[in-house]
A and B are shown apart, each in its own frame.
Chain A
Amino acid sequence: MIARQRNRQPASAPTAAPPPPVTDRTVVRDALGVGLAIGASGLAFGVAGVTAHLTVWQTCALSLLAFTGASQFALVAALAAGAAPMAGVAGALFLSVRNSLYGLRLGPRLELPRLLRPLAAQGVIDETTAVAMVQPDRRSTRIGFAVTAVSLYLTWNLTTLVGALGAGALGDSSRFGLDAAGPAVFLALLGPQLRAAGETRSVALLGAALALGASLVLPAGLPVLAAVAAVPIAGLLRGSRKSGSEEAS
């Protein structure tokens, strides 16, 4: 109880209405909200896995073991397109490099004992990082991370199983427009990033164009990897534009 009464407002509170105090209860509530809402999206993954001709077990194994949504969807999409499995794995791994950087930022905030790190690592994903990094102190950072990770893990795996079992009943995926679910998933994952300023949008457009162009000649799986070239190309374009404008001025 005492813990809840810790004063987290700065000593010199501004005259404007102070933000509501962060209590263990509000952290748990916010974390559960994210965990349950995003976890429900496992339904879409379960359907995607089985319509891509993975077995229910393979689909569930990805959610249990890989547990990072975008990479799971990417592997399934590559296998469905007839890509070589290794090309699909490479694309999916590129997508999950960002989790390493999340870990770098979370590590000093969580200050976990060495023995807990291997367990906590499985929970280092977009949503847990988003919840944990906005907490004001170590205690609420740990609570936010743990509650988001556990609730999201349980919900994601449960809904993956439900989706995988249910997908068999749906049959041909191009009936009803289910084949539009795949690209919509990737668009929904991409959407929040496009709101950010900077070179994000040019990288997205360039990546899409590179992949479509490459798909005319390269075998399945490789066009997606070709899109990674958009990152250095956008960097070079930006660099040359910068130096160009410097020369002009």
Chain B
Amino acid sequence: MNVWSAVLVLSAGCYLLKLLGLSIPAGLLDRPAVRRFAALAPVALLAALTALQTFGHGAHGLALDARALGLAAAGIALWRRAPFLVVVLVAVVATAAVRLLPG
């Protein structure tokens, strides 16, 4: 499966999930277990993606480097309720600044 198929399969899947919610009677899916999964699965996935992209190194390695400090700075910006793009920018600038330090 190439990149284009991934793009199109994801697009179709995302659209069908949206349409599903609008189309079926509420009682059918609106159960506590489904509600809990739909609320918490994104939390687990986003946390996993954050961690992997911050500490991942190569195929199977972990590393503590400039990215971790950049993310810590982004976390502070987020905690201070900075807008989305500002949070991302803080991470980029802080990471670049750490890399510029000698040694």
Q: Which residues of A contact B101 (CB under 8 A)?
A: none
- How many residue pairs, one in A and one in B, have C-beta atoms under 8 Å apart? 297
Q: Which residues of A contact B43 (CB under 8 A)?
A: 190, 193-194, 200, 203-204, 207
Q: Which residues of A contact B45 (CB under 8 A)?
A: 74, 91, 94-95, 207, 224, 227-228
Assess the B48–A223 pair: CB atoms within 8 A. Answer: yes
Assess the B48–A75 pair: CB atoms within 8 A. Answer: no
> Interface of chain A, helix or strand or loop or mixed?
helix
Q: Which residues of B contact A38 (CB under 8 A)?
A: 84
Assess the B38–A97 pair: CB atoms within 8 A. Answer: yes
Assess the A199–B40 pair: CB atoms within 8 A. Answer: yes
Q: How far is the CB of B87 from chain A (nearest CB, A)?
A: 4
Q: Which residues of A contact B24 (CB under 8 A)?
A: 104
Q: Which residues of B contact A217 (CB under 8 A)?
A: 60
Which of chain A's residues 152-188 have a Cβ closer than 8 Å to chain B? 175-188
Q: Which residues of A contact B40 (CB under 8 A)?
A: 199-200, 203, 230-231, 234
Q: Which residues of B contact A200 (CB under 8 A)?
A: 40, 43
Q: Which residues of A contact B94 (CB under 8 A)?
A: 177, 180
Instruction: Decide yes or no: A188 and B74 within 8 Å by CB, A79-B3, A216-B62 being known contacts.
Output: yes
Q: How many residues of A contact B (CB 8 A)?
A: 100
Which of chain A's residues 19-49 have a Cβ closer than 8 Å to chain B? 37-38, 40-41, 43-44
Q: Which residues of A contact B79 (CB under 8 A)?
A: 191
Q: How far is the CB of B30 from chain A (nearest CB, A)?
A: 5
Assess the A108–B21 pair: CB atoms within 8 A. Answer: no
Any chain B CB within 8 A of the CB of A236?
A: no
Smallest Cβ-Cβ distance to B98: which chain A residue: A177
B-binding residues in A (CB < 8 A): 37-38, 40-41, 43-44, 54, 58, 61-62, 65-68, 70-71, 73-75, 77, 79, 81-82, 84-86, 88-89, 91-108, 112, 117-118, 120-122, 124-125, 175-191, 193-194, 199-200, 203-212, 215-217, 219-220, 223-224, 226-231, 234-235
